Amino acid sequence: MRYFAIATLASLVVARGVAAQSVDAYAPAPLGPPASLAIQADGKVLITGNFSQVGTDTRHGVARLDVDGSVDETFGDPYVNGNVIAVAVAPDGKLLIGGAFTEVGGQPRHSMARLNADGSLDASFADPGFNESVWVIALQPDGRIFAGGSFTAIGAHAQNYLARLDANGAFDASFADPELCCDPLVDAVALQANGDVLVGGAFSQAGGQNDRFYFARFSANGTFDPSFPAAPIEPQPGALTVAPDGSIYLSNNGTGLMMKLDANGTPVGGFGSAATDGEIYSFALQPNGKILIGGTFANVGGVPHHALARLDADGSLDASFADVHLSFDATNPAGFVYGIAAQADGKVVAVGNFTLADSVPRQYVARVATGDYAKSALVVQPDGASVGVTWYRLGDGPELGAAPTLLHSTDGVAFAAVGPMTRVANGWRASAPFDVRGARFYLEVAGMTGSGAEDGSPGQVASAIYSSDTIFADGFE
């Protein structure tokens, strides 16, 4: 009997694709420009916005797309009565949405709600009662939820622009009022591994201190950190995320540059961003260190790139990524990208205000095939009564925003968390107390990615499922 599936790292490395970037047949055609998007672990894409129709299907505010771009009919119309600005895919497959709305599925829900996997309202998630819009959502590993936006109260609780909810939507008073002021908006939030919260937005005060512009850090209980950032910088984040090594990436919309900081807020030497002539609304990190960027620009590093481009790991323009020229129409070359996300197969989905992509009609959503490789494999090595598990991730695709979780199952259907994995070269590793000589078991790894507008719509990515007594034919995502 063969007990385990195994692949060598060499078998994952294939020749770099020679095909240029191209716009594929993915064309869902929502009635209005989506505000954001997120990708599920199964490859399906969620788009959100103020639309009421996608293709010929009625969908208010949120729609789920199959891998070919058609509307997923198993995900019903959630009937959101306003703009859905952010969406987050929770580990259990449910969806958190934030925006400017007051009803979902005919029930009161003020600016935030949770949907079941079929698109129906999850009644177990209470109406938080935000008094203004939610622009960004971040999920803690323990299930609690950060929301940023233009609100100043949640129900009877005064809370300015940044708040935390428990897993069922109730206000979490253990996170203090951050005292953000005075241009009221938080539109970028990212979590560090130690629980600290990074916040970007249009504010000039934080923690009650004057002259704290645009970017701040708070502890897990809401205490303002006056030592951050360590260097005297005042970036205006258009998008913000934390990489697995703790590095902080943000787009500075005051300069049209990407920035890379260490975990304490000091600019990282050797990273020099190619300059854009517009704003960067969204970016996506890839496992190969490259950075996809989307926004309002028409040039990057002095080279024409209309609303979508890619940077190398040092911040310079990746000349191998062609200009797919997202534009409003044939007479107006300037298109806008509001959100981007990298798929597990390396393709890139962009949403925004455009109707042409490389001169091909694409109404507000387009997908670009990069021609580059994107590989993933779950390699399991028995060691007595334990197994060593390595999740290799190479090339294009979505980078993770935090350590992924190793999952275990006895039936291949219901999985439970074993624990977080540790970063290693080209992937992630963990050891687990499972013996391949005993009862059959299954392993999977699931992680969360940052994507969407302001990178405030986290999605998911998962490995192939490993069986302790069956070799899977491909072993890849």
Shared domain for 124 and 96, answered yes or no, is yes
Shared domain for 57 and 132, answered yes or no, is yes
Shared domain for 218 and 201, answered yes or no, is yes
Shared domain for 146 and 94, answered yes or no, is yes
Domain that holds residue 410: 374-467
Shared domain for 313 and 363, answered yes or no, is yes
220-234, 268-282, 322-336: range with highest mean pLDDT: 268-282
Domain boundary among the residues 317, 343, 369 is at 369
Shared domain for 82 and 206, answered yes or no, is yes
Shared domain for 199 and 165, answered yes or no, is yes
Domain boundary among the residues 314, 334, 369 is at 369
CATH of the domain at 444: 2.60.40.10
Q: What's the pLDDT tens digit per position in 247-271?
A: 999 999 889 999 999 999 999 999 9
Tell me which of 90 and 182 has the higher pLDDT.
Answer: 90
Structure confidence at residue 20 (pLDDT): 67
Whole-model pTM?
Answer: 0.92
Q: Would 1 be classed as within a structural domain?
A: no
- Angle at alpha carbon of residue 407, lines to 477 and 42, rounded to 5°: 35
Q: How far, in Å, CA of 179 to CA of 450, rounded?
A: 26
Q: How far, in Å, CA of 445 to CA of 421, rounded?
A: 9
Shared domain for 218 and 331, answered yes or no, is yes
Shared domain for 38 and 56, answered yes or no, is yes
Poorest-confidence range of 1-5, 252-256, 356-360? Answer: 1-5
Shared domain for 381 and 343, answered yes or no, is no
Q: Would 9 be classed as within a structural domain?
A: no
Please give the tally of structural domains in the chain.
2
Q: Give the dihedral sign, CA 210/215/220/222.
A: positive
Shared domain for 358 and 399, answered yes or no, is no
Q: How far, in Å, CA of 29 to CA of 52, rounded?
A: 11
Shared domain for 340 and 438, answered yes or no, is no
Q: What's the pLDDT tens digit per position in 313-345?
A: 999 999 999 999 999 987 888 899 999 999 999
CATH of the domain at 348: 2.120.10.30
Tokens at 383, concatenated: 């060691």
Q: Would 266 be classed as within a structural domain?
A: yes
Q: How far, in Å, CA of 276 to CA of 255, rounded?
A: 8
pLDDT at residue 178 greater than cutoff 50 = yes
Q: Per this entry, what is the length of the chain?
A: 477
Band of residue 475 on the pLDDT scale cut at 50, 70, 90: very low
Q: What's the pLDDT tens digit per position in 362-395?
A: 999 999 998 788 889 999 999 999 999 999 999 9
Q: Would 107 be classed as within a structural domain?
A: yes
